[in-house]
Amino acid sequence: MNQLFKFEEWLTLEDAANHISIKFGRPVTLAHLYQFSLSGDLKLSANFVNPAKAKKVTLIKKEDIKYKKIVPKGIKDFPQTGGFKVPTNAQHPISRELWVESIEAQVVSLSGVWDLSMIGTEKFSIKQLHQQEISSDIEVKVPEAMSVYVKGAKETYELQLLLTMEQYREQHNTPLVNGMRSKILDCALAYPASRLDELDYVLVVKTKEVTRFIQRLGGTPQEVKPPAQTAYKKNTDKLEQRKVNTQARYQRWQDEADKIQEDNPSKPETWVADKIAKMLIAEGRSSARIRKMINNKERWA
């Protein structure tokens, strides 16, 4: 792998850990990589196996926000000197330091490798993975009303999910036009993804990021030749157990879905998934994720 390193655009996390281990002569695990990412020392990326829907956003620092004062009318005894400060060049905050300045209506498809911005719920996804690696049973709570963000060379995107046509029509009661349903654009179907695992992706590290990380910590680590046994060894037992746990979770969802559909045969799958999402067996997963898995039994069985 070392000989091919400079020709690779990105590495899996296991290969990245192995490469860094060899360069520094000490074991580096996935837990280390997650910790480096959370501390801002190593940039992780998502390689979207299937195209991910997204909207381009422009961010603005908190100190650059401009405000105007609004004094409400028609409120009895409201102080003359009172009022509310409303931002004029920002929409909503996503962290203590950053706000969304604007978001484009157009929905685009992202393919390939995109850096995790670590300003939205993607940060909490990495925290959860870190907890799993250190064998902790602590569940990381993902804040509600937060989105997932990824970055390109200059631009930032908010990841989106799409309603099905049936879901949209259920919610909006779209009328027939000349006996036909009107076409619905992606921008109308899109809504922000709340968790990274709602999309099809693989975590990777760009090769140039691994090189930058090594040089930042060790200067010229390429000259170090540690014993081979210090390289990171993949913990297959832990990975297999995680896979078993995931399969068991999906099976619980499917069993519950079959039971609900048997009792409510006229209800759509979206209604079934919404119902399961409110149960303990959902384990915090979204209705969209649950619906996706109960519709793809062959995929995980």
Give residue-wise pLDDT tens across range 252-274: 889 999 999 899 988 888 888 88
Please name which of 201, 192, 188 lies closest in space to residue 100, comparing C-alpha atoms: 192
Q: What is the DSSP letter of 120?
A: S
Would you kindly state where each structural domain of the chain is located, as residue ranges?
A: 5-234, 235-301
- Per-residue pLDDT tens for 211-232? 999 998 874 544 434 434 444 4
- Per-residue pLDDT tens for 48-94? 989 999 999 999 999 999 999 887 777 777 776 777 889 999 999 99
Half-sphere exposure of residue 148: CA atoms within 13 angstroms, side-chain side: 26
Residue 278 CA to residue 66 CA, distance in Å, equals 40
Mean pLDDT of the chain: 82
Q: State the residue for tokens 């619906």.
A: 291
What pLDDT does 287 receive?
80
Asked if residues 254 and 297 have their Cβ atoms less than 8 Å apart, the reply is yes
Residue 187 CA to residue 23 CA, distance in Å, equals 47
Residue 176 φ/ψ, nearest 5 degrees = -80, 140
What pLDDT does 301 receive?
53
The pairing of beta strand 156-162 with beta strand 45-61: antiparallel
Residue 288 CA to residue 286 CA, distance in Å, equals 5
- Per-residue pLDDT tens for 104-123? 999 999 999 999 999 999 99
Give 135's pLDDT tier (boundaries 50, 70, 90).
Answer: confident
What pLDDT does 75 receive?
75
CA 86 to chain centre: 30
Give the tokens for residue 244.
């078993």
Residue 235 CA to residue 233 CA, distance in Å, equals 6
Distance (Å) of CA 71 to CA 43, 57, 75, 152, 301:
45, 30, 10, 41, 59
pTM of the prediction? 0.67
Sign of CA dihedral 217, 218, 222, 228: negative
